[in-house]
Amino acid sequence: MFTGIVTDVGQVRQIEKRGDTHIVIATHYDMEKLPMGGSVACAGTCLTIVERGPKEDLWFAVTASAETLSKTTMGTWKAGTPVNLELPLKVGDELGGHIVSGHVDGLAELVSMHTEGESTRMLFAAPKALSRYIAEKGSVALDGVSLTVNEVDDNRFGINIIPHTLSVTTFGHLQPGMKVNLEIDTIARYVARLVKG
């Protein structure tokens, strides 16, 4: 489990196809915080650490299946791609965002963006099948970042990105037409299931 509070922005160092896809990501994390077999959220996708660098060379490696590549933005990554990172929640940690599982539901596309006061207003389009789970003043995770939804119109929803979030995540790199990993709120998923039936 994660909270959607990004604690590092890593960078893809290397991608290698080996049946599945092996991805090496440079990070600022202390290697002791990245145990072999442990989890890390990479742009909102929960992945398992399969290799890691020494203390003087900070990197870790994950393996992504074809299924993961097809359902997330990871299929478009290349060397140099910045990646939002978050370590798993520990018992007793502050839940600063919302409960994020690291299981990406689909891709949302950035439709438009403009400055609003000191913030940046971003309008995203979600897949039709997921839009029913997105509610005004509810939560979503985009590329692993916990965000509050400002408004919803059919399958489009607006998010306000404050300057701090823009500077400490990959959102500063986004441009209209680009896609982000979307995880709907777990509570919304179960409420919709109960109402349905």
Domain boundaries, the chain: 8-86, 106-196
Rounded to 5°, the CA angle 167-76-180 comes to 45
The predicted pLDDT at position 111 comes to 98
Which residues, at least 6 apart from 91, have a Cβ–Cβ distance to it below 8 Å? Answer: none
Positions in the chain short of pLDDT 70: 92, 188-190, 192-194, 196-197
Fold designation for 106-196:
Elongation Factor Tu (Ef-tu); domain 3 (2.40.30)
Whole-angstrom Cα distance, residue 40 to residue 8? 11
The predicted pLDDT at position 144 comes to 97
Whole-angstrom Cα distance, residue 184 to residue 97? 13
The predicted pLDDT at position 76 comes to 95
The predicted pLDDT at position 195 comes to 72
The predicted pLDDT at position 193 comes to 62
Nearest one of 114, 108, 112, 165 to 133, comparing CA atoms: 108
With H, G, I as helix, E, B as strand and everything else as coil, classify residue 76: helix
Q: What is the pTM of this model?
A: 0.93
The predicted pLDDT at position 190 comes to 64
Whole-angstrom Cα distance, residue 150 to residue 131? 14
Q: Answer whether 8-86 and 106-196 agree in fold.
A: yes
CATH class given for the domain over 8-86: mainly beta
The predicted pLDDT at position 189 comes to 67
